[in-house]
Amino acid sequence: MQAGITLGNIARQHVAERGAKIALRGAGGALSFGELERHACQVANGLISAGVLPGDRVAYLGKNSLHYFEALLGAAKTGAVMAPINWRLAAPEVADLIEDCQPKWLLAEHGFEATATQIAPRIVRLDNAGRDGFAAWRDAQVASNPHHQAAVTDAALQLYTSGTTGRPKGVVLTHQSLFGLRAGMTPDTMPPWYTWSSEDISLIAMPAAHISGTGWGIWSLMSGATGVVSADFDPHAVFELMVEHRINKIMMVPTAIQIAIRHPQARTSDFSFLRHICYGGAPMPAALLDEAMQVFGCGFVQMYGMTETSGTIVALPPEDHDPARGARLNSVGVPLPGVALKICDAQGRPCKSGETGEILTRSIANMSGYFGRPEETAKTLDAQGWLRTGDAGFIDQDGYLFLRDRVKDMIITGGENVYPAEVENAIRSHPGVFDVAVIGVSDATWGEVVTAVVVPRSEEDRQAQSIIEFARTRIARYKCPKRIEFVAALPRNAAGKILRRELRESFRPKS
């Protein structure tokens, strides 16, 4: 891969060799690399005429679409920074993000024009919005390349963190955050599963507003592969797309895998064309991974990373997905070439191998900072480039990273530290438990009480004592829940992460 590649040029670099090859397929048809490049240039010229300048933000509100990728590349061609907004958010939440990001231009995809006009009446131009409006506006622009020379350290993409821990922050990723790790690898150092070719067919089904959606789409385009864009993760549609297009590379969060393997055709379909299912973003329950490996029978790659690291920085490759490897399957893997990791205690001192502490990482993929929040940036990213992930974990003697939990989700009960994930894993295999989240609820005696919020498989499974006793056979007594609360469903965000703050709020003792 070229060292100085920038987002605006990822389609252009394929035009000479494979201009007629399909770059993206989606609900609106298909786009070859040549067409995508032409449309991106037209969008760029339209943005320039609308007064968009290098460094300006432009926003996108909508589901995954071909228009989104045209706008993503088009914005980059002008030096502007795309900020995709999660369409699942309520109007006041969208308004909050717009307020934070102050976009010069907002593209509202078909179906989202009304929200966009309501929250940003001065920005959204209705003649730009909607399926036909966008195409007509784009096609009225000249298709010449604006030839903006972006530096690799310029901002390229602004993604809002999922907000499980507080107000969403705009994570600013530069061109080198997006492409630098891959560009720094050689054929010898690049892990085989990380190698993409123009023969690959990938499914872009995760939301564009998340790094697993946009980042995946960028990987696909950059490699000259064909990306099949699914508007959202509808398990039925995804199944049909996988089989129809013979998708061989797919990224799914564990909840999406859980939905997919419950599909009635999951056990009867032929998936022999699938090469890799990549998963990550949230803890993968062991039983679900076993089942998914049986159903799909392809290579599995666990990926660990965060928006602030442009996605994956650590991965567990297919060869480590061997049940015989035992404990290693509980690891999220080894750092990608070019990524440094360290584990530090609460005072910032490095921990020994096997000791749990906060995970810090340094690599070219790290964000440049949070948009307009220098204090928050300084708390997360130090002067030497180490980024605090907020995740707790340890590294074993072979260099494999094991995650414990979010540092701030750790429960302190009677002076002992308890990591919710460990308790959840212990409870999840109880036959009456469909889903579980463990939180700390403040308590006068214990400081916090380990509380399991359980979705039972059926009404008869509301058996609190049976769940507590089951946990006691698997983990230390102090880690076992003292309280069980039954609920119909757990609150999760679009990326499948449990909204623990919301749960803690629901079960906070009334004073």
The token duo for 150 is 């972006």
User: Of 79 and 333, which has the nearer Cβ to ligand AMP?
Assistant: 333
- Interface with ligand AMP (CB under 6 A), residue total 20
Q: Least CB distance from residue 143 to ligand AMP, whole Å?
A: 36
Q: Which is nearer to ligand AMP, 241 or 421 (CB)?
A: 421
Task: Tell the smallest beta-carbon distance from residue 493 to ligand AMP (Å).
Answer: 8
Asked if 257 is part of the footprint of ligand AMP (rule: CB under 6 A), the reply reads no
304 binds ligand AMP (CB under 6 A): yes
Shortest distance in whole angstroms from residue 19 CB to ligand AMP: 34
Does residue 280 bind ligand AMP (CB under 6 A)?
Answer: yes
Per CB under 6 A, which of residues 195..234 are in contact with ligand AMP? 211
Q: Per residue in 1-39, is it b (16+ CB within 10 Å) or e — as a string?
A: eeeebbbbbbbbbbbeeebeebbbbbeeeebbbbbbbbb
Which residues are within 8 A (CB) of 361 and not within 5 positions of it... i.e. 6 or more apart?
309, 313, 335, 339, 340, 341, 342, 386, 387, 389
CB of 389 to ligand AMP, least distance (A): 5
Q: Do strands 170-174 and 155-160 pair parallel, antiparallel, or not at all (unpaired)?
A: antiparallel
The yes or no reply on residue 387 touching ligand AMP (CB under 6 A) is: no
Nearer to ligand AMP, 433 or 498 (CB): 498
Place of tokens 């997919």: 260
Residue 446 CB, nearest approach to ligand AMP (Å):
25
In the set 177, 302, 377, 451, which binds ligand AMP (CB under 6 A)? 302
Stretch in the footprint of ligand AMP (CB under 6 A) among 20-28, 44-52, 274-282, 425-433: 274-282
Fill in the per-residue mask, 472 to 501: x = in contact with ligand AMP (CB under 6 A), - = not in contact. Answer: -----------------------x------
Task: Rule CB under 6 A: choose which of 15, 71, 282, 387 binds ligand AMP.
Answer: 282
Each residue 398-417 as x (binds ligand AMP by CB under 6 A) or -, in order, gives -----x--x-----------
Q: What is the rounded CA–CA span in Å between residue 97 and residue 161?
A: 11
Work out the burial of residue 107: count CB atoms within 10 Å of its CB; fewer than 13 is exposed, 13-18 middle, 19 or more buried: buried
Kindly state the tokens that stand for 468. 């507590």
Contacts with ligand AMP in 330-369 (CB under 6 A)?
332
- Contact code string over 157-196 relative to ligand AMP, x by CB under 6 A: ----xx----------------------------------
Indicate whether 306 belongs to the interface with ligand AMP (CB under 6 A).
Answer: yes
Q: Does 456 bind ligand AMP (CB under 6 A)?
A: no
Nearest-angstrom CA–CA distance, 71 and 73? 6
Compute the least distance from the CB of residue 15 to ligand AMP, in Å: 32
Nearer to ligand AMP, 291 or 461 (CB): 291
Q: Cβ of residue 270: shortest distance to ligand AMP, in angstroms?
A: 28
Say how far apart CA 454 and CA 399 lie, in whole Å: 34
Asked whether 207 and 64 are in contact (CB, 8 A), the reply is: yes
185-192 long-range contacts, Cβ below 8 Å, gap at least 24? 185/336, 185/337, 185/338, 189/337, 190/337, 191/315, 191/317, 191/336, 191/337, 192/317
Question: How does DSSP assign 448-495, residue by residue?
Answer: EEEEEEEEESSGGG--HHHHHHHHHTTS-GGGS-SEEEE-S---B-TT
To the nearest whole angstrom, how small is the minimum distance from the Cβ of residue 128 to ligand AMP?
Answer: 29
109-168 residues near ligand AMP, rule: CB under 6 A: 161-162
Q: Is the CB of 139 or the CB of 290 nearer to ligand AMP? A: 290
If we measure between CA atoms, which residue out of 498, 432, 501 comes closest to residue 255? 498
Nearest distance from residue 373's CB to ligand AMP, in Å?
16
State the nearest-atom distance from the C-beta of 254 to ligand AMP, in Å: 8
3-state secondary structure 372-420: CCHHHHHHHECCCCCEEEEEEEEECCCCCEEEEEEHHHCEEECCEEECH
Q: How far is the CB of 171 from ligand AMP (least distance, A)?
A: 8
Length of the chain: 511
Stretch that binds ligand AMP, among 75-83, 179-187, 386-394, 450-458 (CB under 6 A): 386-394
Burial (CB < 10 A; 0-12, 13-18, 19+), residue 53, is: exposed
Out of 230, 331, 377, 389, the only residue in the binding site for ligand AMP (CB under 6 A) is 389
Ordered DSSP codes for 335-371? EPTT-EEEEE-TTSPBPPTT--EEEEEESTTS-SEET
| Chain CA centroid to CA 44, Å | 27
Nearest to 409 by CA among 455, 467, 448: 448
Binding segment toward ligand AMP, per CB under 6 A, in 189-197, 279-287, 372-380, 464-472: 279-287
CB of 495 to ligand AMP, least distance (A): 5
Which residue's CB is nearer to ligand AMP, number 162 or number 220? 162
Nearest to residue 174, comparing CAs of 148, 207, 151?
A: 151
Interface positions with ligand AMP (CB under 6 A):
161-162, 211, 280-283, 302-307, 332, 389-391, 403, 406, 495
